[in-house]
Amino acid sequence: MSTFDFLVLYWPRLLSGTGITIAQFLLAAVLGVAVSLCMGLLKLSHNPVLRGAAVTYIEVFRGTSLVVQLYWIFFVLPLFGLSIEKFTAGYVAVGLNIGAYGAELVRGGILSVPKGQWEAALAINMSPAKRMRRIILPQALVNMLPPWGNLMIELLKGTALVSLISVADLMFEARQINASTYLSAQTFGVALIIYYILSRFMVTPFMRWLERHMARKLGKA
Amino acid sequence: MNDVSAFPLEISGSPAPMVSFRKVTKSYGALTVLDELDLDIAAGEMVSIIGPSGSGKTTVLRMLMTLEQINGGVIYVDGQPLTHMPKNGMLVPASQKHLRKRRADIGMCFQHFNLFPHMTALENCMEGPVQVLGLSKTEARERSEELLEMVGMIGKKDQHPSRLSGGQQQRVAIARALAMRPKVMLFDEVTSALDPEVIGEVTNVIRKLVSEHNLTMLMVTHQMGFARDISDRVCFFYGGKIEEQGPPAELFGNPKKERTQQFLSAVKEAI
């Protein structure tokens, strides 16, 4: 079977798999960004308990394998009475994992804002919360966007693991097709190309656009 | 331990000094930056602080802005304690709430301007009045535009700081501080980071403030001529203490202490 015939026959399944991959990616990204902000801020807290919670979170999710985390959330948590449907378990695991890496980026971004900015905000008597929200975070965000671009690509590729708990994403469909046709080169070749297109022509351009947009807001461009 | 039991809960007297440092000590580990500093500044007075680097000049301003904590003594602003607060008839270290309340009387301009880069000149000035004082945007804009007009920056009000020269940024920073209507203004080497040809545009704004407003001002500067022109009093700092102080004509014209003479002649040679 030629690659063309292969595509004609299997494109609906590959397409629906791609759709699920994109959905998993977007949901995990939203969750990951939220977790990153939260944990990044907690890690800078003066309260040792809050800081300890953030450190523990980051250590656990960065220090262990994403697949094991995924299995914990999908297979082990039900044993403690917390059952999560597989689609949700998929993006939650990936999002929580990326959030641990993102937390360090948030923390680093915040610390990279010059001391003078903190002092100027204090000199106009801003409350710590307002200072963070209105002065520090907007600048920190611009500083941390380039590494976030990398992390987002990692995140996209990480979503392939949700196929292991039978979420019908692109990787899952590819494995199913391969199992019934043994056309490994075509199946995984097409999957490879689709992942590449998603990261190279969707995620990266979007992050670049965001960087330019934020730089303009800072009056840098 | 900072024993403040000997200090009054507030300073009365007519008129009470606007700012009062009472035996204020600041040290970083073993290094004492300020050593039992006593300094009173009257309402409406313009005081310049000069001295060699490392003499504690900037620390005085930073403590008054509450950017640094003091290790001993008490600072009073407008008769009320700043670094401490009264509790059960005694002075205790100030809470964050107390600091926020008392800090409202003080404004500061920095050597490196520290404008918010993600806001235009106008937004920089409006930020405090809207977010801290709770003014409406209309009121805040009116107040800010008036001040930008005063510092000669109204034409650039919609520019971001990155599009402004150092002198222009510093003038916006002065407007931003004034928009909070402080009673005391602090100028921390505001011309040190500027190119020589734009120093004048900033010093002219400060001159205007001195002549037209009844602000209490404290300025750390290396511009001896400027300090001499506009100050009511000049303090020469050396080794964390005021070595000599007096009216500018006296301190610059006829310095009594040897260290003051040495410093001033060294500065003269540099010019």
- In this predicted structure, what is the pLDDT of residue B1? 54
Average of pLDDT values for B123-133? 97
pLDDT band at A217 (very low <50, low <70, confident <90, very high): confident
- Chain B residue whose CA is closest to A126: B132
CB contact under 8 Å between B67 and A219, yes or no, is no
Q: Does A126 touch chain B (CB under 8 A)?
A: yes
If DSSP states are collapsed to H, E and C, what string results for chain B?
CCCCCCCCCCCCCCCCCCEEEEEEEEEECCEEEEEEEEEEECCCCEEEEECCCCCCHHHHHHHHCCCCCCCEEEEEECCEECCEEEECCEEEECCHHHHHHHHCCEEEECCCCCCCCCCCHHHHHHHHHHHCCCCCHHHHHHHHHHHHHHCCCHHHCCCCHHHCCHHHHHHHHHHHHHCCCCCEEEEECCCCCCCHHHHHHHHHHHHHHHHHCCCEEEEECCCHHHHHHHCCEEEEEECCEEEEEECHHHHHHCCCCHHHHHHHHHHHHHC
Q: Does A129 touch chain B (CB under 8 A)?
A: no
Select the residue from A124, A135, A145, A214 to test the B interface by mutation, using most B Cβ atoms within 10 A: A124
Beta-strand pair B72-77/B19-28: antiparallel
Condensed to tens digits (0 to 9), the pLDDT of residues B63-111 reads 999 999 999 999 999 999 999 999 988 999 999 999 999 999 999 999 9
Contact list, B132 vs chain A (CB under 8 Å): 124-127, 130
pLDDT band at A220 (very low <50, low <70, confident <90, very high): low
Q: Does A216 touch chain B (CB under 8 A)?
A: no
Q: Which range, of A19-28, B149-158, B193-202, averages the lowest pLDDT?
A: B193-202
Q: Which range, of A57-61, A215-219, B6-10, averages the lowest pLDDT?
A: A215-219
CB contact under 8 Å between A218 and B100, yes or no, is no
User: Interface of chain B against chain A, CB under 8 Å?
Assistant: 65-67, 100, 103-104, 106-108, 110, 112, 114-118, 120, 127-128, 131-132, 159-163, 173, 176-177, 180
Run of H or E residues at A27: helix A3-43
CB contact under 8 Å between A138 and B118, yes or no, is yes
Q: Does A176 touch chain B (CB under 8 A)?
A: no
CB contact under 8 Å between B112 and A116, yes or no, is yes
pLDDT band at A214 (very low <50, low <70, confident <90, very high): confident
CB contact under 8 Å between B114 and A116, yes or no, is yes
Average of pLDDT values for B146-165? 95
- In this predicted structure, what is the pLDDT of residue B56? 86
CB contact under 8 Å between B132 and A138, yes or no, is no
- In this predicted structure, what is the pLDDT of residue B37? 94
User: Dihedral, CA atoms, B118, B119, B125, B131, nearest 10 degrees?
Assistant: -80
CB contact under 8 Å between B103 and A126, yes or no, is no
Distance, in angstroms, between B184 CA and closest chain A CA?
A: 12
Structure tokens at A108: 């680093």
pLDDT band at B54 (very low <50, low <70, confident <90, very high): confident
Q: Where are the domains of chain A?
A: 3-217
Identify which of A119, A125, A138 has the shortest CB distance to residue B132.
A125
Average of pLDDT values for A89-101? 96
Average of pLDDT values for A58-63? 94
CB contact under 8 Å between B117 and A126, yes or no, is no
Superfamily of A3-217 according to CATH: MetI-like (1.10.3720.10)
Contact list, A217 vs chain B (CB under 8 Å): 118
* Percent residues over pLDDT 70 in chain A: 98
Distance, in angstroms, between A101 CA and closest chain B CA?
A: 26
- In this predicted structure, what is the pLDDT of residue B30? 87
- Cα separation, B235 vs B241, whole angstroms: 10
Cβ pairs A/B, distance under 8 A: 69
Query: Rounded to 5, what percent of chain A is helix, strand, coil?
Result: 85, 0, 15
- What is the predicted ipTM? 0.92
Q: Residues with Cβ < 8 Å from A91, sequence gap 6 or more?
A: A23, A24, A27, A28, A31, A159, A162
- The yes-or-no verdict on residue A155 having pLDDT over 60 is yes
- Chain A residue whose CA is closest to B119: A218
